[in-house]
Chain A
Amino acid sequence: DAGVTQSPTHLIKTRGQHVTLRCSPISGHKSVSWYQQVLGQGPQFIFQYYEKEERGRGNFPDRFSARQFPNYSSELNVNALLLGDSALYLCASSFWGLNTEAFFGQGTRLTVV
């Protein structure tokens, strides 16, 4: 039974570059959310997608964007990388609605040098 899968697991990028992170949700889940976890802090909400539409956005600059595909997988894109973007990026999938729980992937560790 496959859980939430994310790729790549680790990534090193240079300041100013662009990065794309990928996520495949649990089968049957149509909602995908992205979180950023900086060392020593809890995850912070970036985006939520449901049925290929953005349903929520956290307090992140426009350099961050995302999309969801017809198979419900998702990409997170970050442009013009800054050192401060170094973090663990988590993808969570869930059913849509209030009384649902989110299932998290292993995350992508992004290091910007």
Chain B
Amino acid sequence: AQSVSQHNHHVILSEAASLELGCNYSYGGTVNLFWYVQYPGQHLQLLLKYFSGDPLVKGIKGFEAEFIKSKFSFNLRKPSVQWSDTAEYFCAVNAVTGGYNKLIFGAGTRLAVHP
């Protein structure tokens, strides 16, 4: 069965620290990869996506992610976090099976950034 694993459930950082959130997936076929963010009280928003091409993708608010196919990984990075990055982050894989697409989400990582 397909699955997505996020290694860190809770991360606490100080402002200006660097961030890396791990994401691994298990699926042997073609995948699209996503990072979504959920700010407190808001809906899930897309941070960035990978469909094909350059494995290093840049998203909104200074976030980037690197797709490493051999490691089945899609880690999220930001060189310098801000207090406003406090949110929950979800990695998701879009697996095409049986003629339809569905998103498989990881359990999420809660990030708290202290001023």
Contact = CB atoms under 8 A, between A and B. Distances in A.
Does B bind A? yes
Interface of A: 3-4, 33, 35, 40-45, 48, 50, 55-56, 58, 90, 92, 97-107
Interface of B: 4, 30, 32, 34, 36, 42-46, 49, 51-52, 90, 92, 94, 96, 98-108
Nearest to A102: B103
A55 B101 CA distance: 9
21 contacts: A33-B102, A33-B103, A40-B107, A42-B92, A45-B103, A45-B104, A48-B102, A50-B100, A56-B100, A56-B101, A92-B103, A97-B101, A98-B30, A98-B51, A99-B52, A101-B34, A101-B46, A102-B103, A106-B42, A106-B43, A107-B43
Given A43-B90, A50-B100, A56-B100, 11 more contacts: A40-B108, A41-B108, A56-B99, A56-B101, A90-B44, A98-B96, A98-B101, A99-B51, A101-B34, A101-B46, A106-B43
Given A42-B108, A90-B44, A98-B32, A48 B101 contact: yes
- Closest 6 CB pairs between A and B? A42-B105, A56-B100, A104-B44, A55-B100, A45-B102, A99-B51
A100 B101 contact: yes
B34 to A, nearest CB: 7
A82 to B, nearest CB: 22
Contact of B105 (A43, A48, A55): A43
B102 A43 contact: no
Contact of B32 (A56, A92, A99, A106): A99
Contacts of B98: 56
Contacts of B51: 98-99
B43 A42 contact: no
